[in-house]
């Protein structure tokens, strides 16, 4: 499933990916024909004091691992939402509930 960024000028967004039983968010673009293209990268290897790291030889999808099950991925996303609300000072009830909760 592809979700385009609300302010995207170039059809950039994220794809929710399930590969070999692991869930992740993958940076992607949607072409005019509807085809989704993942963005790829060469991850940086961790170096040591004696041998500095560098890019790996294998190119991989640019992704953020969420969990090894749908439940674990949902829990991770809920934690991310909680932290975003906390950092931005947005109350936990914002955006939840029905229209009766809105005071005009």
Mean of the per-residue pLDDT values for the chain?
A: 87
In the predicted structure, residue 102 carries a pLDDT above the cut 50? no
Higher pLDDT, 78 or 104: 78
Element holding 29 (H helix, E strand): strand 22-30
Q: Report pLDDT for 96.
A: 58
Per-residue tokens: 24: 């992740």
Q: Report pLDDT for 103.
A: 45
- How far, CA to CA in Å, does 56 sit from each of 28, 37, 47, 75, 101? 21, 21, 11, 31, 51
27 close to 63: Cβ distance less than 8 angstroms = yes
Residue-wise pLDDT tens digits, 28-48: 999 999 999 999 999 888 877
């Amino acid at each position: 499933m592809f979700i385009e960024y609300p302010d995207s000028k170039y059809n950039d967004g994220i794809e929710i990916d399930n590969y070999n039983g692991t869930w992740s968010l993958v940076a992607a673009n949607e072409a005019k024909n509807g085809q989704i293209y993942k963005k790829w990268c060469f991850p940086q290897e961790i170096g040591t004091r004696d041998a500095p790291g560098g890019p790996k030889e294998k190119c991989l999808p640019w992704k953020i691992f969420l969990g090894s099950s749908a439940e674990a991925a949902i829990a991770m996303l809920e934690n991310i939402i909680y932290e975003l609300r906390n950092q931005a000072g947005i109350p936990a009830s914002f955006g939840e509930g029905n229209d009766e909760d809105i005071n005009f």
